[in-house]
Amino acid sequence: MPPCVTEYSYLVTSSGHPTSQLRVHTTALSVPLNLISHLDPSDPQLWMREGNGIAGNGTALRLEFSGPTRFRDAAETWRRIAAAAHVTDEVRATGTGLIALGTFTFADASATTSVLRVPRTIIGRSDGAAWVTRIRTADDTEFDPLPTASALGSEYRLSLRAGQMSPDAFRSAVADATARIQTGELSKVVLARDLVGRVPVGADLRRPLVDLSLGYPSCWTFAVDGLFGASPETLIRSENGVANARVLAGTISRGSDGERDEIASIALATSDKNLGEHEFAIRSVRETLAPFVSDLEWSEQPFALKLPNLWHLATDVRATLSGSATSLDLVAALHPTAAVAGTPTPDALRLIAECEPGDRGRYAGAVGWLNATGDGQWAVALRCAQITPNNTVTAWAGCGIVAGSDPDAELAETDIKFRPIIDALG
Ligand SMILES: C=C(O[C@H]1C=CC=C(C(=O)O)[C@@H]1O)C(=O)O
């Protein structure tokens, strides 16, 4: 049966009004535009890596989800919206046509909502192609005009202080978790701590995005519904039946000169503690993807991934999809991986809830986008912070704790992982 518009009466726009079929038009631009300078300074919506990506303005549709079924509900709702949408795509590249940006919470019980958001205009660029997508609801008579670029607002700096989990509390949580791992209660848990601050009223929220994208060009720089950051970890990317993931777990700080840096990378690649931590993460991704794929490839040995602030152990996974799962279905299955929760997952989640005093919100959840066919790009929401409407900002960083973990070393590791956000806001 063709999708019926009245089925969508439960959908509401950001203004709270019912909406119906989306009309979408992508046209080519003759020159690529700077994505960040075209964003709304108070509400940037961005997904970008190495200068390519998409920049959204306004809201055609904003949907909120919560609870244990948030991913599945969002995936199902999106199927219906996409099936009903009227899409004209004159460019047909990665990121063209109907797109929803999304951010999903880490915990089922989070008080924060998970969101799918369709902007009213999206400027994109990818491998030389440049485009604008305009989106309107049936209630609108016209598409919005192409957003104009604007200069960045004044500089600002803010200092972040310990949030709900102090450094001392983090150290004792790590000691407690390590002891419980040593007794065999579980194999690995990822514990995180938070920093909080306040952004000045009227601050141009594109500023930290400029810093993150220049400082961490190989990471996914994102801003979705107030969550922003630069994640090195691809949770899943799917396009035309092929899926990719980059699994990260195992970390060491960069050396202070070339020689020390090389020693650090070798120490990481040969550390039993880090290799063990990585093995849990890669196994969780491989086992979860298996039912969705006809073919799964990964390198036997992880490689050392160099970022400006640290080295990670990394494994790239490539899969041929065998069914009709969308990228969001795959996210639903993969989350939470052992890189952000632990092993076994239920025990790790219980220990996180016990040890961490606060709600992780969307940190360590999934952030990214999907298109009308369900293809999309999703990262694990790491190296990030959430800005709320009352201008508070909360950043998180965590570490995989295994039997050989040392509380001081893990605390130092969170300091390194906070660097991108601290530098971008400081
Ligand atoms: C949980 C975080 O990182 C994860 C991803 C890569 C390496 C990790 C580690 O070595 O502990 C963590 O599993 C974080 O950055 O907050």
Residues 201-239 have pLDDT tens digits of 999 999 999 999 999 999 999 999 999 999 999 999 999
Report if residue 155 sits inside a domain: no
Query: What is the DSSP secondary-structure string of 37-105?
Result: GGS-TTS-EEEEETTEEEEEES-SEEEEE-STTHHHHHHHHHHHHHHH-EEEESS-STT-SSEEEEEE-
Q: Which residues line ligand 1 (CB under 6 A)?
A: 190, 192, 233, 248-251, 312, 339-340, 382-383, 397-400, 417
pLDDT at 138: 86
Strands of 127-282 (E only): list them. Answer: 129-137, 161-162, 188-198, 220-224, 227-231, 234-239, 242-253
Separation CA 76–CA 57 (nearest Å):
25
Tell me how far the alpha carbon of residue 278 lies from the centroid of ligand 1, in angstroms: 10
**β-pair type (220-224, 227-231):** antiparallel
Indicate if the pLDDT at residue 12 is higher than 80: no
Tell me what the pLDDT averaged over the chain comes to. Answer: 94
Question: How far is the centre of ligand 1, averaged over its atoms, from the C-alpha of 291 (Å)?
Answer: 26
Question: Can you tell me the mean pLDDT for 91-110?
Answer: 98
Distance in angstroms (rounded) separating the CA atoms of residues 1 and 6:
13
| pLDDT, mean of residues 3-14 | 36
Query: Who's near 39: CB < 8 A, 6+ residues apart?
Result: 45, 46, 55, 56, 57, 147, 206, 209, 223
Nearest residue (CA) to ligand 1, atom 13: 339
Task: Give catalytic residue positions.
Answer: 188, 233
Contact, 64 vs 125, CB < 8 A?
Answer: no
Omega before residue 336 within 30° of 0, cis: yes
Flag whether pLDDT at 99 surpasses 90: yes
Q: Is residue 257 part of a domain?
A: yes
In one-letter notation, the amino acid at residue 187 is S
In this model, does residue 186 exceed pLDDT 70? Answer: yes
Going by pLDDT thresholds of 50, 70 and 90, the confidence category of residue 16 is very low
Omega before 232 cis (within 30°)? no
Q: Where residue 20 falls among pLDDT bands split at 50, 70, 90?
A: low
Question: For the chain, how many structural domains are there in total?
Answer: 1
3-state secondary structure 235-247: EEEEECCEEEEEE
The pLDDT value recorded for residue 3 is 28
pLDDT in tens, 280-327: 999 999 999 999 999 999 999 999 999 999 999 999 999 999 999 999
For residue 44, the enclosing domain spans 5-143+161-425
Span 142-149, average pLDDT: 95
* pLDDT computed for residue 71 by the predictor: 98
Integer Cα distance of 258 and 364 in angstroms: 32
The verdict on residue 154 lying in a domain is no
Alpha carbon distance, N-terminus to C-terminus of the chain: 55
Nearest ligand 1 atom to the CA of 417 is 15
Atom of ligand 1 nearest to the CA of 250: 10
Is residue 202 assigned to a domain? Answer: yes
Determine the distance separating the centroid of ligand 1 and the alpha carbon of 249, expressed in angstroms. Answer: 6
Strand 293-298 versus strand 342-343 pairing type: unpaired
Ligand 1 mutation pick, 165, 170, 189, 190, max ligand atoms within 8 A of CB:
190
What's the full length of the chain, in residues?
A: 426
Token pair listed for 140: 């609108």
Cα 69 to ligand 1 centre (Å): 25
Mean pLDDT confidence for 187-198: 98
Ligand 1 atom nearest the C-alpha of 338 is: 13
Q: Which residues contact 286 (CB under 8 A, 6 or more apart)?
A: 296, 298, 317
Over range 390-395, report the average pLDDT. 97
330-356 tens-digit pLDDT: 999 999 999 999 999 999 999 999 999
Atom 8, ligand 1: residue with shortest CA distance? 249
The CATH number given to whatever domain includes residue 172 is 3.60.120.10
Q: Is residue 156 included in any domain, yes or no?
A: no
Note the pTM of the prediction, 2 decimals.
0.95
Q: How confident is residue 10, by pLDDT bands cut at 50, 70 and 90?
A: very low
* Residue 367, domain member (yes or no): yes
What pLDDT does residue 79 have? Answer: 96
Over residues 143-158, the mean pLDDT reads: 96
Among the atoms of ligand 1, which is closest to the Cα of residue 400?
11
Task: Give the residue, 98 or 1, on which the prediction is more confident.
Answer: 98
151 lies in some domain: no
> What burial class does residue 202 get, using C-beta atoms within 10 Å of its C-beta: 0-12 exposed, 13-18 middle, 19+ buried?
exposed
Per-residue model confidence as pLDDT tens digits over 349-377: 999 999 999 999 999 999 999 999 999 99
ipTM of this model? 0.99
Query: Distance, CA 339 to ligand 1 centroid (Å)?
Result: 6
C-alpha 117/C-alpha 63 separation (Å) is 6
Q: Is residue 153 part of a domain?
A: no
* 319 close to 289: Cβ distance less than 8 angstroms: yes
